[in-house]
Structure 1
């Protein structure tokens, strides 16, 4: 297959690129700057999101479009300016994907659009599957709602649109996990906030495998929760992480301290949601890492 991949040089995109190459696909990575990026077997870099760019000229004949582009939410405090950039980076990339699709002579059959479980809002007591249609009311829920709506507005007839609602992705090389490990490495790990907040996580290997699964299984469409089938509460996560690292889990970090350090961004650790992947399981997907201990042991 010929696949356009936006965000192919990012955290998830770099893993996905390697998996697509192994499957023998031809990949067109959309990037703002193609300088110092050398095309290789199966991979070509296409410039986009700059004035005058016309990536559609190089994307004729693609079979699928995967959009993972968007500014990271966990790399700095959420100032008002940064919150606007986070939303803009997602809606702008989705708008550009729509524009490209509408300008291709023959549109692809499949579009996979990154999203997040932040859509549901946070709760200690509610359980969420894809059957929940109402979005939450916090900043992340607003961001994801606008992100998905923008992508949906440009949906073409006879074109399948999948939203990959990512949970907290576990990997040694990116995402939130390295920051969560840091206190344990200094023997200062412990309960974060109240500790009962749910953490809906997924191993990076399952992220990539599930994207490929959605690409190949044409009956899957709409929102798809990318979370392992066994969420855990934050205190259990910390205990399991400490055990895997052979480090103590003993020093609690109160919520007010995290809010002082991180501001509104502290909600990523202090709030959570119990999300399960009903669509993936119903479609027959088999998780490589359905249980947290096995996932962390593989990573560390």
Structure 2
């Protein structure tokens, strides 16, 4: 199988590339500059997004296109400029992916487009599945809504589209978990805000596994919640993390302080949503990590 990946150098893209090449598939990573990239077995770098590049000539006949490109949500305070980068990077990259797909003589069977559970907005009480059609009304919900709208144009090219709505991805090197570890390592861990907000988490192995599963199962399309089947409230997450690290859990971080430090980005930790992966469950995706403690133990112990 031949798979093109936009955003292949991020932590999800890197893990996905390792999984695909280990299974004997060929991966084509789109990049602005391949002169500083070292190719390895099963991986080829394809230049795009600059004058004179014709990625479609190298990607004709690919089986799947995976779009993971976009500004990191966790890379700094959400100023107005940062918000613009978050929005524009996703829209522009997805439009560029669509431009490549339109030019391909042999279209991929599927476009797997990154998305986020932020689509649903935040709630302390509701439970969201893919059947929930109405989007939230905050910044992240608007980003996801427009992101998915751009990717939906692939259907006009007879390409199946799966919108992978990622929850909070747990990884041992990058992502939200690493930012949460510091206070616990300093013996100062505790609840963030009220602790009642929901955290719809997912282990990096299941993120990668669900992407591959969506590629291989043609009956999967539309929104796909990529979260573990057992989300937890933030207070339970913190207690479980403290237990795995053998650290105390006692010093709360006040909401007002977090809002001051993080600005609008505080919504990622102070609010949340309870999201269930109904579509993956109904299509028998075999989760490697359904419960939080084994997932954290795998990553941290």
TM range (shorter): over 0.9
1:225 paired residue number: 225
Residues 70 and 90, structure 2, Cα contact 8 Å, conserved in 1: yes
SS of match in other structure, 1:162: strand
SS of match in other structure, 1:113: strand
Using the alignment, how far apart are the partners of 2:149 and 2:220 within structure 1?
19
Any unmatched runs of 5+ in structure 2? none
| 1:67 counterpart = 2:86 | no
Question: For residues 226-280 of structure 1, what are the alpha-carbon distances to aligned partners after superposition, in whole Å with 9 as ceiling and x for unaligned?
Answer: 0000000001100000000000000001100001111111111000000000000
2:125 paired residue number: 125
Q: How does 1:212-251 map to 2 (within 5 A)?
A: 212-251=212-251
Q: Which moved more, 1:113-122 or 1:50-59?
A: 50-59
TM-superposed deviation, 1:156: 3.1
Using the alignment, how far apart are the partners of 1:284 and 1:243 within structure 2?
31
4+ aligned runs moved over 3 Å, structure 1:
none
| 1:191 counterpart = 2:191 | yes
Residues 127 and 274, structure 1, Cα contact 8 Å, conserved in 2: yes
TM-score (norm 2): 0.98
Coordinate RMSD, CA, aligned: 0.9
| 1:14 counterpart = 2:11 | no
2:279 paired residue number: 279
Using the alignment, how far apart are the partners of 1:153 and 1:288 within structure 2?
32
Any unmatched runs of 5+ in structure 1? none
Using the alignment, how far apart are the partners of 2:297 and 2:38 within structure 1?
35
Using the alignment, how far apart are the partners of 1:71 and 1:47 within structure 2?
19
Q: Which moved more, 1:38-47 or 1:226-235?
A: 38-47
Using the alignment, how far apart are the partners of 2:51 and 2:92 within structure 1?
13
1:169 paired residue number: 169
SS of match in other structure, 1:212: helix
TM-superposed deviation, 1:40: 2.3
Using the alignment, how far apart are the partners of 1:38 and 1:99 within structure 2?
26
1:81 paired residue number: 81
1:47 paired residue number: 47
